[in-house]
Structure 1
Amino acid sequence: MTTVFIAGSISISRLHEKVADRINKIVSSDFNVVVGDADGADTSIQECLQRYRAGKVTVYCTGDSPRNNVAEWPVHRVVSKAKAGTRAYFTAKDLEMARNSDYGLMVWDCKSTGTLSNVIELLREKKKSVVFVNKNKDFVTVSDKDGLEHLVAFMSDHARAKAEEKIGLTAKIANIAQEQFSLDIGANSELSASTVKERKPSAPAEASPEQTESVKLRAALMTALKEHIARAHLSQSQAAKVFGVTQPRISDLTRGKVDLFGLDALVNMAATAGLRVELYVRDADVVVG
């Protein structure tokens, strides 16, 4: 059964009729719906679902009980290790909704980094989003990097700068592009936040087949660290604190400057962030001919 993740910006307290009509179609199709518990769009979405007598709804919350659950639907509680009340604390439920859904319906005010992060996370899960852009009162479908870039084009320069500061937007778009064309795309080889395994890396743009094994290992670790930053929705300054380095080092990391990092430094960064590095060694392939 199809599951739809419906969410939106906290600044939006009233849904446009086009959004309400789309929600009605989702309910009429007997799809499962997952929705958050925040004020603003989440509550408006819940009220709309209640109005259409939606039954297959699950409200996701971080903590013991949801902040809003207008129809007393079943609740999915998400455990977060982040400090209560912080951005990372509430983001945990959004990540889980993205994982547990088939696609997203988002209502965006062209500046909310939370809603934008949901779209990006769905892309990372190889799932598309239909985004209602409140500015022009119409839908945009985001299923790849080009769609994401088209979406962020609706942002003002100020909103774009804020998104860069809060979530490292440029790096996130670059990561989507990198994953889109990596050799192991679709192989479900996503790294968990607790384990970093050696894998064939989605190498930075400057990587080449002639790289040494050391460089390949460093590239793989850098990719894993960037994925951790993206999943935790950390700004560069926040990531610097998590990894125990300076912000310029995080900037070098997100830009894929593999030559500036030693293997031991990357392992230490992963360990400082609470990640575990596992190394597998095997015989090299022998070519006979």
Structure 2
Amino acid sequence: MTNLSSITTGRSPLAVDAFSLGLQSKSVARKRASAKARHLIAFALLVSLGGITHAEQPPTLSPATTAAAANLVDIRALVPDIAEDIKYAGRDNFVGAPVDGYRAPACLLLRPVAEALARVERELRTRQLRLKIWDCYRPARAVAHFVRWAHDLSDQRTKAQHYPTLDKSKLLGDYIAPVSGHSRGATIDLTLQRCAADGRHCTPLDMGTDFDFFDVRAHTDAPGITTVQHANRLLLRDAMAREGFRNYPLEWWHYTLTPEPTPHTLYDVPVQ
């Protein structure tokens, strides 16, 4: 949910402020409404972050203002009964409040990504398994909300559930990045469920940690989990890999379709 594989992990407070006050600020967006200006902001951000690891082209902020304009579709248009618990649309998340940009508990993805995920779900159902989705496309403004929360060291409401072994001051950088791959519309956070024969009574598999647990135990191959928990993580990883999704190894729940449909474009349309 946090780190972005295509951008270096080294970050500074200046980079965070540039993103929070520039790319995400509504007042700046109004003053600099042109796509060219937003491109320059995104480019400056990438320079401040130290460059790009797998491509020379820096990401740009899409001018799209609606999901349709961004080619984002609701996964339920393809799988109407897919299980969802969109964490950032409510209060059950590490921020402890609804996150900016989430106006509805919906999973939006770029159409090719949604189609691939629907194929994963259909294959799993032949084995009495199903997915459960926690997050999909994430507006850039939501990422800025995460950064603001991380700077507020007085807010410790979710520490016991999400970062019990870490000081909150350590979350920026390693766990919360100023740019998220979710904002490109090809990344999903999810888990796996086993269902009864009727397909209606499903129970999440034991993965060893909750979603958004900031700890080494959340690494897909973490040594401190049980054999069953590791096997469940690999079961999810194998099912996703068959349709082209790559796991982010520091978060067992995090998957990105490869190659990404728009690897150099960030989106900021609301989820609704």
Shared fold per TM-score greater than 0.5: no
Task: Tell which has more relative contact order, 1 or 2 (C-alpha 8 A, sep 6+).
Answer: 2
**TM-score w.r.t. length of structure 2:** 0.29
Bigger radius of gyration = 1
